[in-house]
């Protein structure tokens, strides 16, 4: 994979956003490259939202070269699988079961544990992972952290290494395989959602399926709607 077999994770004390930092560093270090920071001063989420990034969370980003049109979706959904699998292992025996919510949030008991932001910048794809880990309090009322759930502390470098390895594997896998695993774990299927669609306003209905071409099939009072994921600005359960 562009020459590197092992995931390289650079650790910083503080940066603005690891999604920006990894792009600055990749010019010297080459791809794939991961950066993690203890604190982000300008962490961002999807739709231009602020991402609270205080000490204790895992804030990391990976940079890859974009080779195929579907590489961004592969990283987007495949990274959710990596985090969901990691969280399942860490939470096993606790009764908590992590869920993937469309497209790539990881929730536990209705609260957000992890958000993922994929950005395309020139020839690069950047995947940013914000995982709430050791914060004793959730950053927001509708969020949770591993510490809140288990009363334990976790080694952030070890978690970052595992996520980086997992994301590299995803990047090296065929889209169809990653999609199939993600689709089978997508908890949003069969649930009622509110979709904000670019140029189309709000659509409410049941998410019937997501097809391998990343088109969402919605049942709106018996009428079928097919919405390409690229037009979907946000999805929330109602």
CB of 130 to ligand BTN, least distance (A): 3
Closer of 37 and 221 to ligand BTN (Cβ): 37
Q: How far is the CB of 219 from ligand BTN (least distance, A)?
A: 26
Report in angstroms how near the CB of residue 16 gets to ligand BTN at its nearest.
8
Count of Cβ atoms closer than 10 Å to residue 156 Cβ: 20
Beta strand 9-15 pairing with 111-121: unpaired
Give the residue with the Cβ less far from ligand BTN, 49 or 67.
49
Rounded to a whole number of angstroms, the minimum distance from the CB of residue 1 to ligand BTN is: 21
User: Do 163 and 6 form a contact (C-beta atoms < 8 A)?
Assistant: no
Q: Work out how close the CB of 73 gets to ligand BTN at its nearest, in angstroms, rounded to a whole number.
A: 16
Q: Which residue is nearest to ligand BTN (CB)?
A: 115
Distance in angstroms (rounded) separating the CA atoms of residues 225 and 238: 18
Cα–Cα distance measured from residue 110 to residue 169, given in angstroms and rounded to the nearest whole number: 29
Q: How far apart are CA 220 and CA 206, in angstroms?
A: 7
Q: How far is the CB of 221 from ligand BTN (least distance, A)?
A: 30
Chain residues that interact with ligand BTN, rule: CB under 6 A: 17-19, 40, 43-46, 49, 51, 53, 59-61, 105, 115-117, 128-130
CB 113 within 8 A of CB 87: yes
Strand 33-40: give its sheet, edge to edge.
9-15, 33-40, 58-65, 124-131, 111-121, 105-108, 98-101
The residue (of 117 and 210) whose beta carbon lies closer to ligand BTN is: 117
130 or 166: whose CB is closer to ligand BTN?
130
Euclidean distance between CA atoms 156 and 36, whole angstroms? 9
Q: Going by C-beta distance under 8 Å and a sequence separation of 6 or more, which residues neighbour residue 45?
A: 51, 115, 117, 130
Comparison of 92 and 194: residue with beta carbon closer to ligand BTN = 194
Q: Which is nearer to ligand BTN, 126 or 197 (CB)?
A: 126
């Amino acid at each position: 994979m562009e020459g590197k077999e092992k995931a390289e994770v650079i650790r910083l004390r503080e940066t603005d956003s690891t999604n920006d930092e990894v792009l600055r560093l990749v010019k010297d270090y080459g791809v794939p490259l991961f950066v993690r920071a203890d604190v982000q001063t300008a962490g961002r989420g999807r739709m231009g939202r602020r991402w609270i990034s205080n000490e204790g969370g895992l804030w990391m980003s990976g940079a890859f070269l974009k080779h195929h049109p579907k590489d961004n979706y592969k990283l987007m959904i495949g990274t959710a699988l990596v985090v969901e699998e990691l969280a399942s292992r860490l939470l096993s025996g606790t009764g908590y079961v992590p869920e993937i919510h469309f497209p790539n949030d990881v929730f536990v008991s209705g609260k957000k544990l992890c958000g993922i932001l994929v950005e395309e910048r020139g020839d690069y794809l950047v995947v940013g992972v914000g995982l709430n880990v050791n914060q004793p309090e959730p950053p927001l009322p509708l969020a949770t952290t591993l510490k809140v759930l288990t009363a334990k502390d976790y080694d952030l470098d070890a978690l970052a290494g595992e996520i980086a390895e997992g994301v590299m594997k995803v990047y090296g896998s065929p889209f169809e395989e990653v999609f199939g695993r993600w689709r089978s774990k997508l908890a949003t299927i069969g649930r009622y959602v509110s979709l904000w669609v670019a140029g189309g306003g709000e659509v409410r209905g049941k998410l019937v399926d997501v097809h391998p071409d990343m088109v969402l099939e919605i049942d709106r009072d018996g009428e079928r709607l097919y919405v390409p994921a690229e037009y979907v600005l946000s999805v929330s359960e109602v």
